[in-house]
Structure 1
Amino acid sequence: MANYIKEVRNLVGHKPLILNAAAGIVANNQHEVLLNLRTDTHNWSLPGGYLEYGESYDDAMIREYKEDAGLDVEIVKPLGLFDQGFTKYPNGDVTQVISRLYLVKPVGGHTLETATDETLDLKYFPLDQLPPLLNQQTADMLAATKTYFDGLAR
């Protein structure tokens, strides 16, 4: 069911909702992570987004990565579940998001070269030099990613 969240929002307005989302980490050889500059909040987040009704976390992450970044990705491994993601959007919508984070690798497509209705820009950032982020949950997911990469370096 496409546009599930729009349909729900039409029924409940800006009332706080608990929603499920999936996000992916694509890293280059220097362990810099790909982030997207969002059109709605004008800050940076991981490519990913909300599940549509009936969709799995895996399928949502793959679909959203293509929409947000232009890349076809394959799941390498799940990195965690994050349930403390509170966001108030500029339009007044309020959410608590339960997000599944994955390490993924590109297997096709190419990074978007022009802005879309969701993404203004895409860039790689070192995990210790991050730009202004969407919310604390995004920061928590990137901190978990840094811990994961630090563990690999040992």
Structure 2
Amino acid sequence: MKCPHCHENIEVYRNPVPTVDIIIEVEGKIVLIERKNPPHGWAIPGGFVDYGESYETAAIREAEEETGIKVSNLLQFRTYSDPKRDPRQHTASTVFIATGNTRPVAADDALRAELFSEDNLPELVFDHKIILSDYFKARNK
């Protein structure tokens, strides 16, 4: 590829795109959203990290944008980076766990936001079934 300014050849790198997901605990349950945009289905709240934004700030922002919940007690859980985890592109998601003290209200790109327990989870998109399986195993230790 040619640089648009100096017209020298430059290499273009294809790197994973950073995302965050946030498991919000409310009243002993977790918050899931039903996505407005493809891929459609139920998911852990989350999204892309903006340029100049920390992953922690992105997780807090996404939680509030999609569920209306201002979270507290934010803790990093794990990172998931399987190149096939998102059908749109290669993403690497850092997953956080946090506490919410209000019921969720769908906003931004969420059609619905509801509370679920481990034994009544809906079908999930992306690799969120794996993430929640790991979360419940760690929580139930």
Looking at structure 1, the residues matched to 62 and 72 of structure 2 have their Cα atoms a distance apart, in angstroms, of 12
TM-score computed with the length of structure 2 as normaliser: 0.78
Looking at structure 1, the residues matched to 16 and 132 of structure 2 have their Cα atoms a distance apart, in angstroms, of 21
The Cα shift of 1:17 comes to 6.4
TM-score computed with the length of structure 1 as normaliser: 0.72
Unpaired stretches in structure 1, ≥5 consecutive residues: 1-15, 89-93
Q: Which of 125, 129, 142 is the aligned partner of 2:120?
A: 129
The Cα shift of 1:104 comes to 0.3
Looking at structure 1, the residues matched to 116 and 33 of structure 2 have their Cα atoms a distance apart, in angstroms, of 10
CA contact (8 A) 2:33 2:111 kept: yes
2:10 — aligned with what? none
Q: Is residue 117 of structure 2 the alignment partner of residue 120 of structure 1?
A: no
* Larger of the two Rg values belongs to structure: 2
Q: CA RMSD in A?
A: 2.1
State, as a whole percentage, how many aligned pairs show the same letter: 24
Structure 1 residues 131-150: aligned runs within 5 Å: 131-135=122-126, 137-150=127-140
Q: Which of 84, 92, 98 is the aligned partner of 1:98?
A: 92
Q: Which of 40, 47, 50 is the aligned partner of 1:49?
A: 47
Aligned residues: 126
CA contact (8 A) 1:17 1:95 kept: no
Does the residue aligned with 2:71 lie in a helix, a strand or coil? strand
Q: Is residue 95 of structure 2 the alignment partner of residue 87 of structure 1?
A: no
Unpaired stretches in structure 2, ≥5 consecutive residues: 1-13
Structure 1 residues 22-41: aligned runs within 5 Å: 22-30=20-28, 32-40=29-37, 41=39
